[in-house]
Amino acid sequence: SQIEKGGHKHFMAKEIAEQPTVLADTIKHYITENGLNLPDNTPDFTQIDRIVMVACGTAYLACATAKYWIERFAQIPVEVDIASEFRYRSPPIGPRTLAIFVSQSGETADTLAALRHVAEKARILSVVNVAESSIARESDIALPILAGTEIGVASTKAFTCQLTVLLALALKAGQDRGMLSAEDLRSHVADFHTLPGRISSALGANEAIAAIAKDLSKARDILFLGRGQMYPIALEGALKLKEISYIHAEGYASGELKHGPIALIDPAVPVIVMAPRDTLFDKTVSNMHEVMARGGRVVLVTDSAGAKEAGDGTTAVITMPEISDLLAPILYAIPAQLLAYHTAVAKGTDVDQPRNLAKSVTVE
Ligand code: G6P
């Protein structure tokens, strides 16, 4: 009903809008004023040699993002796999392997089966929204993401909360292994506390994105580009868009553009470029210019200084607040969600219950 939707047209819109509040709660739970606050039974990462991360859908893309963080801070090799693939392989698992399962519902059949596939051999940590779920119950430790009930089939607030918990975990891994100085940790923690406010500013792009989405809704194919830790966010933007607007969309690593998708570039294929002003910004922008040189229409997502640096020739710019490179994936998930949402609204599709999809896939 309208009341349940809190005045929004769809649950998805409500859940997108809730993110500043919900993330503030998740951050408060795992991060104190100046340090981390993970439960005592969180693994000691000096005892871990290898991490495998397994999930489906959007939760899988949270894992793909977290790989960058864990490797950066703790130098532990991380392998990320789709649950339905992982369980049919024979992954090398030892006593010093930590297996991380991420699931909003905690009931996804493939993820649960993958967990059972390695439960005897590895330590199992899960990151779930539903604390009483099967995946939580069968784990050695379950970290709740505290996103609250998510009703829209396309996951939004659960994704940014998953990223938040996984980033806290990555910082702990770095701290345990002595690879993250107390000073750096304090500065990341301070940064983390500014995230809800920045998410609110990002939501300020809502109207601008709605206008851009009117145009996108006429496309048959859309490409999303991102580099480094923004690559999984490009994949998430494409996934979200195809789920609810039924427009074919693909996410690509910007550098891989010239190995295939550049052949698709023409004015009919809009290209969304996710480009926070991080260390890879210049490279992403140069890929963007390759697209424009071939007649491609670019929607650039960056901050205002980034927009100036990137120069003219884009079709539209979505302006984000400034953000540290560490937190950029969480912040840039917001425009990805809003682009999908407004494109679907412009097309008139069923945003909260897209055809053929289920909120929780409990069959294999
Ligand atoms: C379905 C949902 C997605 C979700 C995926 C994994 O495909 O539509 O939004 O990301 O399942 O679900 P889980 O509950 O395991 O996170």
- In the predicted model, residues of the chain with pLDDT beneath 70 are 1
Q: Are 59 and 162 in contact (CB under 8 A)?
A: yes
Rounded Cα distance between 288 and 257, Å, is 10
Rounded Cα distance between 290 and 136, Å, is 46
Sequence-distant (6+) residues with CB within 8 A of 207 are none
pTM, two decimal places: 0.97
Test site for ligand 1: of 15, 16, 105, 126, most ligand atoms within 8 A of the Cβ: 105
Q: What is the pLDDT of residue 107?
A: 97
The DSSP code sequence of 106-127 is S--HHHHHHHHHHTTTSEEEEE
| Residue tagged 């989405």 (tokens) | 213
Q: What is the pLDDT of residue 91?
A: 87
| Residue tagged 């996103």 (tokens) | 147
221-226 and 123-128: which strand pairing? Answer: unpaired
Cα–Cα separations (whole angstroms), residue 337 to 52, 261, 290, 341: 27, 23, 26, 6
Test site for ligand 1: of 56, 60, 166, most ligand atoms within 8 A of the Cβ: 56
Distance 291 CA to ligand 1 centre (A): 32
Q: Are 310 and 302 in contact (CB under 8 A)?
A: yes
| Residue tagged 């009341």 (tokens) | 3
Kindly report, residue by residue over 97-113, the tens digit of the pLDDT: 999 999 999 999 999 99
Task: Determine the atom of ligand 1 nearest the C-alpha atom of 153.
Answer: 8
Q: Establish whether residue 134 lines the binding site of ligand 1, counting it when its CB lies within 6 angstroms of any ligand atom.
A: no
| ipTM value | 0.96
Q: Establish whether residue 129 lines the binding site of ligand 1, counting it when its CB lies within 6 angstroms of any ligand atom.
A: no
